[in-house]
Amino acid sequence: MNTLIAISGLGVLCLLFEILNFRKAIVPATILGLLAVLGLTYTEFNTPASYYNNMIVVSKFSSVFSALFIVLTVFLIALAHDVYEDHQTKISDFIAIKIFMLAGAVAMVSFGNLAMFFLGIEVLSISLYILAASNRLNVKSNEAGMKYFLMGSFASGIILFGICFIYGAMGSFDVTEITEWSRSAELPIWFPIGISLVTIGMFFKIAAVPFHFWAPDVYEGSPTLTTTTMSTLVKVVAIATLYKLLTAMNADLSAAYINIIIVISIASMTVGNIMALQQNNVKRMLAYSGISHAGFMLMTLLSIKNSVSSLLYYTTAYSLSGIAAFAVILYVCKNKNNEDIVNFNGLGKNNPLMAAVLTASLLSMAGIPIFAGFFAKMFLFNQVIDAGYLVVVIAAVINSIISVGYYFKLILAMYNKEPNEEATKTPFVFYAVAIISILLNIAIGLFPSAVLDLLG
Amino acid sequence: MDVTTLLIILLVGAFATYFSGDKWAPKVALLVGLTAFASALCLLSQYNLGNEISYNQLWISKPKIYLAFQADGLALAMLLLTTALTPIIIFSSFGNTYKNSKAFYALIVFMSFAMSGTFLASDGLLYYIFWELALIPIYFIALIWGNGDAEERKKSVVKFFIYTLAGSLFMLIAFVYLQSKAGSFLISDLTKLNLSSTEQFWIFMAFFLAYAIKIPLIPFHTWQAKVYQKAPTVGTMLLSGIMLKMGLYSVIRWQLPIAPLAAKEYMYVFIGLGIAGVIYGSIVALRQKDLKKLLAYSSLAHVGLIAAGAYTLTLDGLRGSVLQMIAHGFVVVGLFFVAEIIYRRYETRKIAEMGGIRAQSPKFTSMFMLLVLASVALPSTFNFVGEFTVLYSLSQVNIWFAILGGTTIILGAYYMLKMFQHVMLGETNAKLFADVTFNEGLTLVIIIAVLFFFGLYPKPIMDLITPSLENILTQINRFN
Q: Do A456 and B170 touch (CB under 8 A)?
A: no
Residue B137 lies in a domain: no
For helices B382-397 and B362-375, what crossing angle results, to 10°? Answer: 20
Mean pLDDT over B104-130 rounds to 92
Q: What pLDDT does residue B345 have?
A: 84
**Chain B closest-CA separation from residue A381 CA (Å):** 7
Nearest to A415 among B143, B170, B173 (CB): B143
Question: Cβ contacts (< 8 Å) between A415 and chain B: which residues?
Answer: 140, 143-144
In a domain, B332, yes or no: yes
Amino acid identity, residue B9? I
User: What is the pLDDT, as a whole number, of residue A437?
Assistant: 94
User: Chain A residues with CB inside 8 Å of B59's CB?
Assistant: 449
Render A338-367 in DSSP notation, one character per residue.
Answer: --BGGGGTTHHHH-HHHHHHHHHHHHHHHT
Query: What pLDDT score does A198 carry?
Result: 92
Other Cβ atoms within 10 Å of A336 Cβ, number: 10
CA quadruple B84, B87, B89, B92: dihedral sign: negative
Q: B-chain residues within 8 Å CB-CB of A370? A: 129, 133
Kindly compute the dihedral angle of the four CA atoms of residues B303, B307, B312, B314, in this order, to the nearest 10 degrees: 80
**Is the separation of the CB atoms in B382 and B434 below 8 Å?**
no
CA angle B70, B76, B80 (to 5 degrees): 140
Q: Is residue B30 part of a domain?
A: no
Q: Which of B180, B185, B209 to mutate to test the interface with A (most CBs of A within 10 A)?
A: B180
pLDDT in tens, B330-375: 999 999 998 888 888 888 888 888 877 888 888 888 898 999 988 8
Chains A, B: CB pairs < 8 Å: 76
Local confidence band at B150 (pLDDT 50, 70, 90 cut-offs): confident
How far is Cα of residue B73 from the mean position of the Cα atoms in its chain? 17
Nearest residue on chain B to A445, alpha-carbon basis? B60
> Given A374, A397, A416, which is nearest B143 (Cβ)?
A416
Q: Is A407 on the interface with B (CB under 8 A)?
A: no
Instruction: State the Rg of chain A over Cα.
Output: 21
Domain-embedded: residue B231: no
Please report residues of A whose CB lies closer than 8 A to that of B209: none
Say which of A348, A369, A381 has its CB closest to residue B132: A369
- Chain B CB within 8 Å of residue A415 CB: yes
| pLDDT bucket at B83, cuts 50 / 70 / 90 | very high
CB contact under 8 A, B172 and A386: no
CA dist., res. A292 & res. A141, Å (int): 24
Residue B56 bridge partners (DSSP): B68
Q: Do A404 and B161 touch (CB under 8 A)?
A: yes
Instruction: Report yes or no on B36 lying in a domain.
Output: no
A448 chain-B contacts, CB cut-off 8 A: 60
Give the count of beta carbons closer than 10 Å to the beta carbon of residue A278: 10
Distance from CA of B169 to the nearest CA of A (A): 6
pLDDT at A162: 93
**How much is the pLDDT for A251?**
56
pTM summary value: 0.91
Domain that holds residue B422: 266-480
Which residue does chain B place closest to A413, by CA atoms?
A: B154
- Which segments within B37-118 are labelled E, that is strand? 55-60, 65-69
Q: What is the dihedral of CA B3, B11, B444, B412, to 10 degrees?
A: 80
Residue B330 counted as domain residue:
yes
Q: Which residues, at least 6 apart from B299, have a Cβ–Cβ distance to it below 8 Å?
A: B224, B228, B240, B244, B281, B328, B332
Give the residue from B154, B176, B177 with the most A CB atoms within 10 Å of its CB, the best one to mutate.
Answer: B176
- The answer to whether B73 and B467 are in contact (CB under 8 A) is yes
- Residue B132 has its nearest CB partner, among A368, A401, A449, at A368
Are A415 and B162 a contacting pair at CB < 8 A?
no
In-domain check, residue B480 = yes
Cα–Cα dist A427/B451, whole Å:
56
Query: How far apart, in whole angstroms, are the C-alpha atoms of residue A297 and residue A314?
Result: 7
- Contact list, B62 vs chain A (CB under 8 Å): 309, 449, 452-453, 456
The rounded distance, in Å, linking the Cα atoms of A439 and B57 is 24
Q: Is residue B346 part of a domain?
A: yes
Cβ contacts of B21 on chain A, cutoff 8 Å: none
Helix axis angle for B21-49 and B73-92, nearest 10°, is: 160
Share of chain B above pLDDT 70, in %: 100
- CA–CA separation, B375 and B396 (whole Å): 24
Chain A contact set for B140 (CB, 8 A): 415
> A154 and chain B: CB distance < 8 Å anywhere?
no
The values of phi and psi at residue B56, to 5°, are: -150, 120
Task: Specify the pairing of strand A56-58 against strand B65-69.
Answer: unpaired
Distance of CA A410 to the CA centre of its chain: 22
The total of structural domains in chain B comes to 1
**pLDDT of res. A81:** 75
Of A385, A404, A416, the CB nearest to B154: A416
Residue contact B140–A415, C-beta within 8 A? yes
- What is chain B's mean pLDDT, rounded? 88
Is residue B218 reached through a cis peptide bond, with omega within 30 degrees of 0 on the bond before it?
no
- CA B331, B333, B335: angle at the middle one, nearest 5? 70
10-residue stretch averages of pLDDT, chain A, 456 residues long: 89 86 83 92 86 88 93 92 72 89 93 92 93 87 92 93 91 87 80 89 90 90 90 93 86 79 93 91 91 93 87 94 92 82 85 90 90 91 89 91 89 83 78 93 90 83
The 10s digit of each residue's pLDDT in B411-427 is 888 888 888 888 888 77
Rounded Cα–Cα distance for residues A354 and A75 (Å) = 16
B290 touches chain A (CB under 8 A): no
Of A370, A379, A408, the CB nearest to B129: A370
Closest chain B residue to the Cα of A394, Cα to Cα: B173
Chain B residues whose beta carbon lies within 8 Å of the beta carbon of residue A393: 173, 176
Closest-CA residue to B276 (of B379, B415, B400, B418): B400
Contact residues for B328 (Cβ-Cβ < 8 A; gap 6+): B245, B299, B302, B303, B306, B383, B386
Q: Which of A385, A397, A456 has the CB atom closest to B169's CB atom?
A: A397
Q: How many CB atoms lie within 10 A of CB A211?
A: 23
Find which of A401, A410, A415, A447 to mutate to test the B interface (most B CBs within 10 Å of its CB). A401
